[in-house]
Structure 1
Amino acid sequence: MELNRAVAANIKRIRKQQKLSLERTAEAAGVSRSMLGQIERGEANPSVAILGKLAAALKVPAEEFLRCDAFEPTLLSRELDNKPQRLDGGKVVLRRSMPYEEGTRSETCFLDVYISGTYTPDSAVTGSLCTVTMISGTGFLTVDGETYTLQERDAMRFAADQPWSLRNQGNATVRAMLLWQYRKEG
Protein backbone atom coordinates (compact mmCIF):
# COMPACT_ATOMS: atom_id res chain seq x y z
CA MET A 1 0.00 0.00 0.00
CA GLU A 2 1.48 3.35 -0.94
CA LEU A 3 2.07 5.83 1.85
CA ASN A 4 -0.60 8.44 1.03
CA ARG A 5 -3.25 5.68 0.82
CA ALA A 6 -2.05 4.29 4.17
CA VAL A 7 -2.26 7.77 5.74
CA ALA A 8 -5.77 8.23 4.32
CA ALA A 9 -6.95 4.84 5.58
CA ASN A 10 -5.40 5.35 9.02
CA ILE A 11 -6.97 8.78 9.56
CA LYS A 12 -10.39 7.48 8.54
CA ARG A 13 -10.03 4.31 10.64
CA ILE A 14 -8.98 6.24 13.78
CA ARG A 15 -11.77 8.81 13.31
CA LYS A 16 -14.39 6.07 12.95
CA GLN A 17 -13.01 4.11 15.92
CA GLN A 18 -13.55 7.24 18.00
CA LYS A 19 -17.06 7.58 16.53
CA LEU A 20 -16.33 11.09 15.31
CA SER A 21 -18.01 12.62 12.29
CA LEU A 22 -16.03 14.13 9.45
CA GLU A 23 -17.44 17.56 10.39
CA ARG A 24 -16.55 17.33 14.08
CA THR A 25 -13.01 16.07 13.36
CA ALA A 26 -12.42 18.79 10.76
CA GLU A 27 -13.64 21.46 13.16
CA ALA A 28 -11.46 20.18 16.02
CA ALA A 29 -8.42 20.09 13.72
CA GLY A 30 -9.10 23.50 12.19
CA VAL A 31 -9.33 22.21 8.62
CA SER A 32 -12.26 22.29 6.24
CA ARG A 33 -14.60 19.33 5.96
CA SER A 34 -13.89 19.08 2.23
CA MET A 35 -10.11 19.02 2.85
CA LEU A 36 -10.47 16.23 5.43
CA GLY A 37 -12.69 14.31 3.01
CA GLN A 38 -10.07 14.64 0.27
CA ILE A 39 -7.35 13.46 2.66
CA GLU A 40 -9.38 10.43 3.74
CA ARG A 41 -10.07 9.51 0.09
CA GLY A 42 -6.35 9.81 -0.72
CA GLU A 43 -7.01 12.69 -3.11
CA ALA A 44 -4.93 15.22 -1.15
CA ASN A 45 -1.54 14.88 0.51
CA PRO A 46 -1.69 16.58 3.90
CA SER A 47 1.20 18.74 5.04
CA VAL A 48 3.07 17.91 8.21
CA ALA A 49 1.26 20.82 9.89
CA ILE A 50 -2.17 19.38 8.97
CA LEU A 51 -1.11 15.91 10.13
CA GLY A 52 -0.11 17.50 13.44
CA LYS A 53 -3.50 19.21 13.77
CA LEU A 54 -5.34 15.99 12.95
CA ALA A 55 -3.22 14.04 15.44
CA ALA A 56 -4.04 16.57 18.16
CA ALA A 57 -7.76 16.49 17.28
CA LEU A 58 -7.82 12.67 17.33
CA LYS A 59 -5.49 12.51 20.37
CA VAL A 60 -3.02 10.11 18.76
CA PRO A 61 0.68 10.42 17.88
CA ALA A 62 1.10 11.64 14.27
CA GLU A 63 3.22 8.56 13.48
CA GLU A 64 0.03 6.46 13.81
CA PHE A 65 -1.03 7.94 10.48
CA LEU A 66 2.10 6.49 8.82
CA ARG A 67 1.47 2.91 9.99
CA CYS A 68 1.32 0.54 7.04
CA ASP A 69 0.97 -3.04 8.26
CA ALA A 70 -1.12 -4.27 5.36
CA PHE A 71 -0.06 -5.08 1.86
CA GLU A 72 -1.93 -5.44 -1.36
CA PRO A 73 -2.17 -9.14 -2.26
CA THR A 74 -2.64 -8.23 -5.93
CA LEU A 75 -0.31 -5.57 -7.28
CA LEU A 76 0.58 -5.00 -10.92
CA SER A 77 3.93 -3.36 -11.57
CA ARG A 78 4.54 -2.43 -15.20
CA GLU A 79 8.04 -2.23 -16.64
CA LEU A 80 7.33 1.14 -18.26
CA ASP A 81 6.44 2.63 -14.85
CA ASN A 82 9.76 1.62 -13.27
CA LYS A 83 12.63 3.87 -14.25
CA PRO A 84 15.88 1.93 -14.75
CA GLN A 85 18.97 2.84 -12.80
CA ARG A 86 22.15 2.72 -14.90
CA LEU A 87 25.33 1.84 -13.03
CA ASP A 88 28.97 0.91 -13.73
CA GLY A 89 29.24 3.26 -16.70
CA GLY A 90 26.02 1.89 -18.24
CA LYS A 91 27.17 -1.76 -18.05
CA VAL A 92 24.57 -2.50 -15.36
CA VAL A 93 20.84 -1.77 -15.43
CA LEU A 94 18.78 -2.19 -12.26
CA ARG A 95 15.00 -1.95 -12.59
CA ARG A 96 12.60 -2.30 -9.66
CA SER A 97 9.88 -4.86 -10.35
CA MET A 98 7.96 -4.78 -7.05
CA PRO A 99 8.34 -1.84 -4.70
CA TYR A 100 9.13 -2.21 -1.01
CA GLU A 101 6.05 -2.90 1.10
CA GLU A 102 5.98 -2.82 4.87
CA GLY A 103 3.51 -5.72 4.99
CA THR A 104 5.84 -8.14 3.20
CA ARG A 105 9.09 -6.35 4.17
CA SER A 106 10.46 -7.18 0.74
CA GLU A 107 11.11 -5.76 -2.73
CA THR A 108 12.30 -7.20 -6.03
CA CYS A 109 14.40 -5.92 -8.91
CA PHE A 110 15.49 -7.09 -12.35
CA LEU A 111 19.22 -6.83 -12.95
CA ASP A 112 21.00 -6.82 -16.34
CA VAL A 113 24.79 -6.99 -16.22
CA TYR A 114 26.30 -6.45 -19.65
CA ILE A 115 29.65 -7.82 -20.84
CA SER A 116 32.46 -6.86 -18.40
CA GLY A 117 29.99 -5.17 -16.02
CA THR A 118 29.84 -5.56 -12.25
CA TYR A 119 26.92 -4.84 -9.94
CA THR A 120 28.08 -3.78 -6.49
CA PRO A 121 25.18 -2.53 -4.34
CA ASP A 122 25.41 -0.08 -1.49
CA SER A 123 25.37 -1.55 2.00
CA ALA A 124 22.00 -3.02 2.89
CA VAL A 125 20.10 -2.72 6.14
CA THR A 126 21.50 -4.85 8.98
CA GLY A 127 19.85 -8.27 9.01
CA SER A 128 18.61 -8.08 5.42
CA LEU A 129 18.76 -11.00 3.01
CA CYS A 130 19.12 -11.06 -0.75
CA THR A 131 18.25 -13.91 -3.08
CA VAL A 132 19.82 -13.75 -6.54
CA THR A 133 18.07 -15.93 -9.11
CA MET A 134 19.77 -16.20 -12.49
CA ILE A 135 17.41 -15.80 -15.44
CA SER A 136 20.04 -16.14 -18.15
CA GLY A 137 23.79 -16.04 -18.63
CA THR A 138 26.57 -16.95 -16.20
CA GLY A 139 27.32 -14.61 -13.32
CA PHE A 140 30.06 -14.63 -10.73
CA LEU A 141 28.63 -13.80 -7.33
CA THR A 142 31.16 -12.79 -4.68
CA VAL A 143 29.91 -12.85 -1.09
CA ASP A 144 32.07 -12.61 2.00
CA GLY A 145 35.23 -13.04 -0.10
CA GLU A 146 34.07 -16.26 -1.76
CA THR A 147 33.03 -16.40 -5.43
CA TYR A 148 30.23 -18.64 -6.72
CA THR A 149 29.41 -19.34 -10.38
CA LEU A 150 25.68 -19.02 -11.00
CA GLN A 151 24.09 -20.25 -14.21
CA GLU A 152 20.57 -20.05 -15.59
CA ARG A 153 17.95 -20.95 -12.93
CA ASP A 154 20.53 -21.14 -10.12
CA ALA A 155 19.61 -19.18 -7.01
CA MET A 156 21.56 -18.13 -3.95
CA ARG A 157 20.42 -16.45 -0.74
CA PHE A 158 22.84 -14.63 1.55
CA ALA A 159 23.10 -11.92 4.18
CA ALA A 160 23.01 -8.69 2.18
CA ASP A 161 24.39 -6.45 4.90
CA GLN A 162 27.94 -7.31 3.83
CA PRO A 163 29.83 -6.36 0.68
CA TRP A 164 28.85 -8.44 -2.35
CA SER A 165 28.87 -8.17 -6.14
CA LEU A 166 27.66 -9.89 -9.30
CA ARG A 167 30.14 -9.85 -12.21
CA ASN A 168 29.76 -10.74 -15.88
CA GLN A 169 32.94 -12.21 -17.39
CA GLY A 170 31.18 -13.94 -20.25
CA ASN A 171 30.19 -12.85 -23.74
CA ALA A 172 26.41 -12.61 -23.13
CA THR A 173 24.26 -10.42 -20.89
CA VAL A 174 23.66 -11.74 -17.38
CA ARG A 175 20.03 -11.35 -16.30
CA ALA A 176 18.96 -11.92 -12.72
CA MET A 177 16.10 -11.31 -10.31
CA LEU A 178 16.98 -9.85 -6.91
CA LEU A 179 14.70 -10.41 -3.94
CA TRP A 180 15.47 -8.23 -0.93
CA GLN A 181 13.97 -9.28 2.42
CA TYR A 182 14.19 -7.11 5.50
CA ARG A 183 13.84 -8.65 8.95
CA LYS A 184 11.67 -7.00 11.50
CA GLU A 185 13.68 -5.33 14.25
CA GLY A 186 13.20 -6.35 17.85
Structure 2
Amino acid sequence: MEPSPQIDAEELAKRVGLTLRKIRQERELSLQQLAEVTSVSKLTLGKIERGDANPSLAIIWKIANGLKIPISLLLNENNEIKLSRKHEGNNVLSANEACTLEPIFDLPTYGSSEIHRAFLKPKSQYSPGAHQLGVIEYVTVMAGELIIHIEDEEYHLYEYDAIKFQADKVHTYVNPTEQTTVLHFVMTYTKS
Protein backbone atom coordinates (compact mmCIF):
# COMPACT_ATOMS: atom_id res chain seq x y z
CA MET A 1 0.00 0.00 0.00
CA GLU A 2 1.35 3.44 -0.94
CA PRO A 3 1.74 6.02 1.80
CA SER A 4 -0.87 8.77 1.72
CA PRO A 5 0.53 12.06 0.45
CA GLN A 6 0.92 14.96 2.83
CA ILE A 7 -2.17 17.12 2.76
CA ASP A 8 -1.85 20.85 2.28
CA ALA A 9 -2.56 23.44 4.96
CA GLU A 10 -6.02 24.22 3.55
CA GLU A 11 -7.08 20.56 3.61
CA LEU A 12 -5.68 20.14 7.14
CA ALA A 13 -7.59 23.23 8.30
CA LYS A 14 -10.82 21.81 6.86
CA ARG A 15 -10.20 18.43 8.52
CA VAL A 16 -9.51 20.01 11.91
CA GLY A 17 -12.62 22.18 11.54
CA LEU A 18 -14.91 19.29 10.66
CA THR A 19 -13.57 17.15 13.48
CA LEU A 20 -13.86 19.98 16.00
CA ARG A 21 -17.46 20.71 14.99
CA LYS A 22 -18.35 17.00 15.27
CA ILE A 23 -16.85 16.74 18.76
CA ARG A 24 -18.51 19.98 19.88
CA GLN A 25 -21.89 18.81 18.61
CA GLU A 26 -21.49 15.34 20.17
CA ARG A 27 -20.83 17.04 23.51
CA GLU A 28 -23.70 19.46 22.96
CA LEU A 29 -21.49 22.50 23.46
CA SER A 30 -22.16 25.93 22.00
CA LEU A 31 -19.24 27.84 20.49
CA GLN A 32 -19.30 30.07 23.57
CA GLN A 33 -19.07 27.05 25.90
CA LEU A 34 -16.24 25.64 23.80
CA ALA A 35 -14.45 29.00 24.02
CA GLU A 36 -14.77 28.92 27.81
CA VAL A 37 -13.30 25.43 28.21
CA THR A 38 -10.47 25.93 25.70
CA SER A 39 -9.50 29.59 26.32
CA VAL A 40 -9.71 30.12 22.54
CA SER A 41 -11.97 32.93 21.34
CA LYS A 42 -15.40 32.13 19.95
CA LEU A 43 -14.45 33.99 16.74
CA THR A 44 -11.31 31.87 16.26
CA LEU A 45 -13.18 28.64 16.99
CA GLY A 46 -15.85 29.57 14.45
CA LYS A 47 -13.19 30.22 11.81
CA ILE A 48 -11.50 26.90 12.61
CA GLU A 49 -14.79 24.99 12.36
CA ARG A 50 -15.51 26.58 8.94
CA GLY A 51 -12.00 25.74 7.74
CA ASP A 52 -11.23 29.45 7.34
CA ALA A 53 -8.29 29.37 9.77
CA ASN A 54 -5.21 27.15 9.92
CA PRO A 55 -4.69 26.83 13.69
CA SER A 56 -1.20 26.87 15.16
CA LEU A 57 0.07 24.06 17.35
CA ALA A 58 -0.55 26.24 20.43
CA ILE A 59 -4.22 26.68 19.50
CA ILE A 60 -4.65 22.97 18.75
CA TRP A 61 -3.12 22.16 22.17
CA LYS A 62 -5.52 24.58 23.89
CA ILE A 63 -8.49 22.97 22.15
CA ALA A 64 -7.30 19.42 22.89
CA ASN A 65 -6.56 20.26 26.52
CA GLY A 66 -9.92 21.97 26.99
CA LEU A 67 -11.77 19.01 25.47
CA LYS A 68 -9.45 16.50 27.20
CA ILE A 69 -8.63 14.72 23.94
CA PRO A 70 -5.37 13.81 22.17
CA ILE A 71 -4.38 16.38 19.54
CA SER A 72 -4.13 13.63 16.94
CA LEU A 73 -7.91 13.25 17.21
CA LEU A 74 -8.24 16.71 15.64
CA LEU A 75 -6.11 15.50 12.70
CA ASN A 76 -8.20 12.34 12.27
CA GLU A 77 -7.86 10.03 9.29
CA ASN A 78 -9.86 6.83 8.87
CA ASN A 79 -7.54 4.26 7.28
CA GLU A 80 -7.37 0.62 8.33
CA ILE A 81 -3.66 0.29 7.51
CA LYS A 82 -1.38 3.26 7.47
CA LEU A 83 2.30 3.59 6.75
CA SER A 84 3.93 6.58 8.40
CA ARG A 85 7.04 8.06 6.83
CA LYS A 86 8.74 11.18 8.08
CA HIS A 87 7.52 14.42 6.53
CA GLU A 88 4.72 12.65 4.60
CA GLY A 89 1.90 12.95 7.13
CA ASN A 90 0.06 15.82 8.69
CA ASN A 91 2.17 18.27 10.62
CA VAL A 92 1.58 21.28 12.80
CA LEU A 93 3.99 24.11 13.56
CA SER A 94 4.44 25.74 16.93
CA ALA A 95 3.58 29.45 17.04
CA ASN A 96 7.28 30.41 16.88
CA GLU A 97 7.83 27.79 14.11
CA ALA A 98 10.66 26.23 16.15
CA CYS A 99 8.93 22.86 16.45
CA THR A 100 7.16 20.75 13.83
CA LEU A 101 4.95 18.01 15.27
CA GLU A 102 3.97 15.05 13.09
CA PRO A 103 1.37 12.66 14.45
CA ILE A 104 2.71 9.26 13.41
CA PHE A 105 -0.66 7.53 13.41
CA ASP A 106 -3.89 9.48 13.59
CA LEU A 107 -6.48 7.96 15.89
CA PRO A 108 -9.90 7.25 14.37
CA THR A 109 -11.68 7.52 17.73
CA TYR A 110 -11.09 9.01 21.14
CA GLY A 111 -7.91 7.23 22.14
CA SER A 112 -5.92 6.82 25.29
CA SER A 113 -2.55 7.38 23.62
CA GLU A 114 -0.90 9.00 20.64
CA ILE A 115 2.49 8.91 18.95
CA HIS A 116 4.34 11.83 17.34
CA ARG A 117 7.61 12.76 15.70
CA ALA A 118 8.88 16.25 16.42
CA PHE A 119 11.61 18.26 14.77
CA LEU A 120 13.06 21.03 16.93
CA LYS A 121 15.07 23.60 14.98
CA PRO A 122 18.69 24.39 15.97
CA LYS A 123 19.14 26.78 18.91
CA SER A 124 15.39 27.00 19.52
CA GLN A 125 12.82 26.12 22.13
CA TYR A 126 9.21 24.97 22.24
CA SER A 127 7.00 25.61 25.26
CA PRO A 128 3.65 23.78 25.13
CA GLY A 129 2.92 24.73 28.75
CA ALA A 130 1.00 22.20 30.83
CA HIS A 131 -1.31 19.63 29.25
CA GLN A 132 -4.55 18.39 30.75
CA LEU A 133 -4.49 16.52 34.04
CA GLY A 134 -3.36 12.90 33.72
CA VAL A 135 -1.32 13.19 30.52
CA ILE A 136 1.98 11.32 30.65
CA GLU A 137 4.68 11.99 28.05
CA TYR A 138 7.40 9.57 27.01
CA VAL A 139 10.03 11.42 24.97
CA THR A 140 12.99 9.79 23.21
CA VAL A 141 15.74 11.75 21.48
CA MET A 142 16.25 10.08 18.10
CA ALA A 143 18.88 12.55 16.85
CA GLY A 144 20.67 15.46 18.47
CA GLU A 145 20.31 16.69 22.04
CA LEU A 146 17.47 18.01 24.15
CA ILE A 147 17.26 20.00 27.33
CA ILE A 148 13.84 19.68 28.89
CA HIS A 149 12.62 21.93 31.69
CA ILE A 150 9.84 20.42 33.79
CA GLU A 151 8.72 23.08 36.23
CA ASP A 152 11.93 23.91 38.17
CA GLU A 153 13.96 20.86 37.07
CA GLU A 154 16.24 20.57 34.03
CA TYR A 155 17.20 17.35 32.22
CA HIS A 156 19.79 17.05 29.44
CA LEU A 157 19.14 14.17 27.04
CA TYR A 158 21.35 12.85 24.28
CA GLU A 159 20.66 10.61 21.30
CA TYR A 160 18.47 7.63 22.30
CA ASP A 161 17.97 8.91 25.86
CA ALA A 162 14.34 8.95 26.98
CA ILE A 163 12.30 10.60 29.71
CA LYS A 164 8.84 9.96 31.15
CA PHE A 165 6.95 12.66 33.07
CA GLN A 166 3.54 13.99 34.06
CA ALA A 167 2.82 16.45 31.24
CA ASP A 168 0.23 18.35 33.25
CA LYS A 169 3.23 20.28 34.58
CA VAL A 170 4.68 23.27 32.72
CA HIS A 171 7.48 22.03 30.45
CA THR A 172 9.76 23.41 27.74
CA TYR A 173 11.92 21.67 25.14
CA VAL A 174 15.25 23.32 24.21
CA ASN A 175 17.58 22.36 21.38
CA PRO A 176 21.02 23.65 22.44
CA THR A 177 22.79 22.45 19.27
CA GLU A 178 23.37 23.69 15.73
CA GLN A 179 21.47 20.68 14.26
CA THR A 180 17.79 19.76 14.25
CA THR A 181 16.82 17.60 17.22
CA VAL A 182 14.46 14.76 16.31
CA LEU A 183 12.12 13.53 19.04
CA HIS A 184 9.72 10.62 19.38
CA PHE A 185 6.72 11.24 21.65
CA VAL A 186 4.26 8.78 23.14
CA MET A 187 1.50 10.50 25.10
CA THR A 188 -1.00 8.64 27.24
CA TYR A 189 -4.28 10.03 28.50
CA THR A 190 -6.33 8.90 31.45
CA LYS A 191 -10.06 8.61 30.96
CA SER A 192 -11.92 11.57 32.41
What range describes the TM-score normalised by the shorter chain of this pair?
0.5 to 0.7
After superposition, where does 1:1-40 map in structure 2 within 5 Å? none
Displacement after TM superposition at 1:84 (Å): 1.6
Give structure 2 stretches of 5+ with no counterpart. 1-21, 26-77
State the alpha-carbon separation in 2 of the partners of residues 140 and 126 from structure 1.
23
Aligned pairs for 1:38-117 within 5 A = 75-79=81-85, 82-100=89-107, 105-117=112-124
User: Per-residue CA shift, 1:56-77, capped at 9, x if unaligned?
Assistant: xxxxxxxxxxxxxxxx9x7424
Is the 8 Å Cα contact of residues 88 and 118 (structure 1) preserved in structure 2?
no
- Secondary structure of the residue aligned to 2:154 is strand
- Structure 1 moving runs of 4+ over 6 Å: none
**Quick one: percent identity of the two aligned structures?**
19
Contact preservation (8 Å) 1:115, 1:171: yes
> Pick from 141, 149, 164: which aligns with 1:157?
164
What is the number of residues matched between the two proteins?
115
Cα–Cα, structure 1 residues 149 and 179, in superposed 2: closer, same or farther, change >3 Å?
Answer: same
RMSD of equivalent CA atoms? 2.5
What is the aligned counterpart of 2:137 among 125, 130, 143? 130
Amino acid at match of 1:98: F
Question: Unaligned regions of 5+ residues in structure 1, if any?
Answer: 1-44, 49-71
Where 1:120 maps in the other structure, the secondary structure is: strand
The verdict on how the C-alpha distance between 1:122 and 1:83 changes in structure 2, with shifts beyond 3 A counting, is farther
In terms of Rg, which structure is larger?
1
Does the 8 Å contact 2:105/2:114 carry over to 1? yes
